[in-house]
Amino acid sequence: MEYSLVLKVKSIIQDKRKLFYLFSIITLAVPIIIPVFFDPYWIKLYSEILIWSLLAASVNILFGYLGLLSFGQALFFGFGMYGVAIAITKFGFGLWGSFAFGIFASTLMALISGSLAVRLTWHYFAIITVVFSLIFYFVALTWKPITGGDDGLPFSPPNILDLGNFKISLTNSTHQYYFIIFFVLLCYYFILKLLESPLGKAFIAVKENNLKSELIGLDTYKIKLLGFVFAGLIAGVSGCLFAFYGRYASASYMFYHVSGEAVVWTIIGGVGSFLGPIFGTGLLIVLREELSHIWDHYLLIVGTLVILIVIFFPNGISGLLKKMLKN
């Protein structure tokens, strides 16, 4: 019986589609399960973890499947964030219009920057992504009439749905949670479909050997650019959702340290694993949240844990789970 259960768990972990279904069921059940055992605050924290995990997932698409280490995903996160805030405060857009505008802005920025960045490899690629992020970080700081500068850009989110007396609003915590998880699960579904597609297989081929991929007829530049734009879109959705979550857009979220955190979350969760970004993001955010109430220098503990995981479990939490199930 126990052996059979282990085989079932192993089958789920190894099958991305089954893993996605399990993750979806758990996520949908969180508002029902959490209040029974824990403070309802954890529902809000879980929704924040899911948003940030999309940023880590965008890093994972590039690093885990294309072999491109980007420290500039915060740029697209910021464009999504500011796209929503500017569309609402400056143009008077509704929720769906501002959401679409934020995704469009981040995707367009990914296409422009990616057309230059993917021509480079190794540390040159990482450096240029940081440079792009820094340029627009300083633009956001100095362009105060549009972005709010240091003060950021607060806004009141429009209703999700407004039909007379029937309203679905982000000010309702339950409505907000299901709004967030709908788009998070949708993004992970598209990531799953991408990885299962011929393009996803081409990503792996380019990562394994760029030269051989070119020799067998693959257009590696277009493949990398498509991956870069898709990753930028996912990061943009993350930024849009975080803007709605916090009712605020700030240049500080475009700084490269935000991209660095996403890289760490990806590595801790397991580079190249489908749900690794969620594991890594969840672990470090929960640790940060809990330890910050105990000790002011809690980052020392978090940093030490990260170092230990990287040294002893280089494949991250996902790799550790797979290893445990093999034994």
CB burial of 59-80 (b: ≥16 within 10 Å; e: otherwise) equals bbbbbbbbbbbbbbbbbbbbbb
| Among 179, 176, 171, 158, residue whose Cα is nearest residue 44 | 176
Per-residue pLDDT of 96-108, as tens digits, reads 999 999 999 999 9
Binning pLDDT at 50, 70 and 90, where does residue 8 land? very low
- Residue range 244-271: mean pLDDT, rounded: 92
| Among 192, 193, 195, 218, residue whose Cα is nearest residue 205 | 218
Residues of the chain above pLDDT 90, percent:
60
Residues of the chain above pLDDT 70, percent:
94
As a whole number of Å, the end-to-end CA separation of the chain is 17
Per-residue pLDDT of 52-87, as tens digits, reads 999 999 999 999 999 999 999 999 999 999 999 999
Residue 10, pLDDT > 70, answer no
Residue 36, pLDDT > 90, answer no
Give the β-pairing of 161-163 and 153-154: unpaired
Residue 223, pLDDT > 60, answer yes
Task: Kindly report which listed range (13-27, 145-159, 234-248) carries the lowest average pLDDT score.
Answer: 13-27
Q: What confidence score (pLDDT) does residue 157 get? A: 87
Q: What confidence score (pLDDT) does residue 14 get? A: 55
Residue 15, pLDDT > 60, answer yes
Q: How many C-beta neighbours within 10 Å does residue 263 have?
A: 23
Alpha helices in the chain (DSSP H): 2-14, 16-37, 41-65, 73-89, 95-117, 122-142, 144-147, 173-196, 198-208, 210-215, 220-246, 256-269, 276-291, 298-312, 316-326
| Among 233, 251, 218, 243, residue whose Cα is nearest residue 143 | 251
- Residue range 286-302: mean pLDDT, rounded: 86
Looking at this protein, which amino acid is placed at residue 312? F
Binning pLDDT at 50, 70 and 90, where does residue 289 land? confident
Binning pLDDT at 50, 70 and 90, where does residue 5 land? very low
Query: Which H helix or E strand runs over 315?
Result: none
Residue 133 near residue 259 (C-beta atoms within 8 A): yes
Binning pLDDT at 50, 70 and 90, where does residue 7 land? very low
Looking at this protein, which amino acid is placed at residue 127? I
How far apart CA 228 and CA 313 sit, in angstroms, is: 28
Q: Which residue has the tokens 């990753």?
A: 231
How far apart CA 217 and CA 31 sit, in angstroms, is: 49
| Among 320, 316, 313, residue whose Cα is nearest residue 63 | 316
Rounded to two decimals, the pTM is 0.92
